[in-house]
């Protein structure tokens, strides 16, 4: 049986990718790796608790399991990373280099690593960003992601390692909680709308940012990993677009379900400056051309999915 590694398996993307891969590839063993035990330790026989910065321990896992593919999702996200930028850099960059090195050493066939719109910078502030435009990040997270893109390119060129990468926008999911990103409000706003019919946004009402429903994000990972290597022409990570929305846009969309829902706004939050440095929207012609990427969810369909599923979750919790 072939083995896959999913690192950061307790995180927002990792927890959902694990479930998806196990359903899609029942003939493969999908091993969940994370430094945090959480619920996996007791309920998941294929969970392995490991510090990815510990080269000795990580190397032993590669030697024992010899994974065919690695999905490396462990990271400290943008807003959380600014509270300790050096720790953010060390974890984000150190774990990636360990994964890349061991993948070469143990002849891993494919590696997936997520980048972010955080690689883009504030000068100039323009509505749309194309693939290699305005790569001037201002956060430690964005700096690490851009450096990581270049390291992935280096390992492709020098070691023929098949590394594939996507720049994700803000991700929205009803299954998993956000993990300290600048766009976390786009998840929190739905649950608060159902609980109290109001939400206090830390971003100002007209702050337009790229967003994506998690189902599209998971599908994009599987799709890019499934196309022939020669089809992928981008030297760095691929931009992919879902939709763009501001807090005010979310408010109006939610009001279709909860008419009296309303937003308040804080006077200042440090996450605003991060959001202001990112593009309003993303152009993704390269992903559409090279691997036929197409999003399926816009803001309204995302809101419908979030509201319906969160209502079900609340009803189930009240009955338990």
Q: Residue 151 maps to which CATH number?
A: 3.40.50.720
Q: Return the sign of the alpha-carbon dihedral for residues 237, 238, 239, 240.
A: negative
Cβ neighbours around 37 below 10 Å, total? 11
What is the residue-level pLDDT of the chain in tens, covering all 320 positions?
Answer: 899 999 999 888 999 999 999 999 999 999 999 998 755 455 788 999 999 999 999 999 999 999 999 999 998 877 787 888 999 999 999 999 999 999 999 999 999 999 999 998 775 555 556 677 778 898 999 999 999 999 999 999 999 999 999 999 999 999 877 777 888 899 999 999 999 999 999 999 999 999 999 999 999 999 999 999 999 998 889 999 999 999 999 999 999 999 999 999 998 899 999 898 888 888 899 999 999 999 999 999 999 999 999 988 777 666 55
- Residue 13 and residue 112 in one domain: yes
| Contact between residue 141 and residue 42 where contact means Cβ atoms under 8 Å apart | no
H or E element at residue 140: helix 140-159
Task: Assess if residue 216 is contained within a domain.
Answer: no
Distance, in Å, from the CA atom of 58 to the CA atom of 69, rounded to the nearest integer, reads 15
Where in the sequence is the domain holding 45, given as residue range(s)? 3-169
pTM: 0.93
Check if 141 is active-site: yes
Task: Assess if residue 225 is contained within a domain.
Answer: no
| Contact between residue 31 and residue 48 where contact means Cβ atoms under 8 Å apart | yes
Domain total for the chain? 2
Domain boundary among 113, 143, 169: 169
- Residue 90 and residue 202 in one domain: no
Catalytic residue among 4, 71, 141, 297: 141
Task: Assess if residue 235 is contained within a domain.
Answer: no
Task: Assess if residue 107 is contained within a domain.
Answer: yes
In the chain, the DSSP E strands lie at 3-7, 29-34, 47-49, 69-72, 110-116, 128-129, 163-168, 170-172, 198-201, 209-213, 238-239, 243-245, 262-265, 281-282
Adjacent-strand bridge partners of 244: 210
- Residue 156 and residue 256 in one domain: no
H or E element at residue 247: helix 247-255
């Amino acid at each position: 049986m072939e083995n896959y590694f999913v690192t950061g398996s307790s995180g927002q993307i990792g927890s959902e990718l694990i479930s998806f891969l196990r359903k899609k590839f029942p003939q493969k063993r999908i091993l969940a790796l994370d430094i945090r035990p959480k619920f996996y330790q007791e309920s998941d026989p294929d969970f392995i608790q490991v510090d990815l910065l510990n080269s000795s321990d990580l190397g032993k896992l590669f030697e024992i399991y010899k994974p065919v593919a690695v999905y490396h999702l462990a990271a400290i996200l943008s807003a959380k990373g600014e509270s300790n930028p050096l720790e953010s850099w060390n974890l984000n960059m150190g774990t990636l280099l360990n994964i890349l090195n061991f993948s070469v050493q143990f002849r891993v066939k494919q590696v997936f690593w997520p980048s972010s719109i955080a690689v883009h910078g504030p000068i100039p502030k323009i509505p749309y960003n194309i693939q290699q435009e305005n790569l001037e990040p201002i956060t430690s997270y964005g700096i690490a992601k851009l450096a990581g893109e270049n390291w992935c390119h280096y390992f492709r060129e020098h070691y023929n390692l098949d590394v594939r990468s996507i720049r994700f926008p803000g991700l929205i999911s009803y299954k998993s909680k956000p993990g300290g990103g600048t766009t976390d409000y786009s998840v929190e706003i739905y649950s608060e709308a159902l609980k109290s019919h109001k939400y206090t946004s830390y971003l100002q009402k007209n702050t337009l940012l790229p967003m994506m429903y998690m189902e599209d994000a998971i599908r994009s990972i599987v799709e890019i990993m499934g196309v022939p290597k020669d089809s992928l022409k981008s030297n760095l990570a691929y931009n992919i677009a879902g939709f763009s929305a501001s807090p005010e846009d979310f408010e109006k969309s939610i009001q279709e379900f909860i008419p009296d829902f309303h937003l308040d706004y804080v006077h200042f939050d440090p996450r605003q400056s991060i959001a202001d440095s990112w593009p309003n929207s993303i152009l993704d012609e390269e992903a559409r051309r090279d691997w036929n990427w197409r999003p399926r969810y816009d803001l309204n369909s995302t809101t419908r999915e979030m509201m319906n599923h969160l209502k079900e979750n609340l009803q189930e919790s009240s009955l338990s």
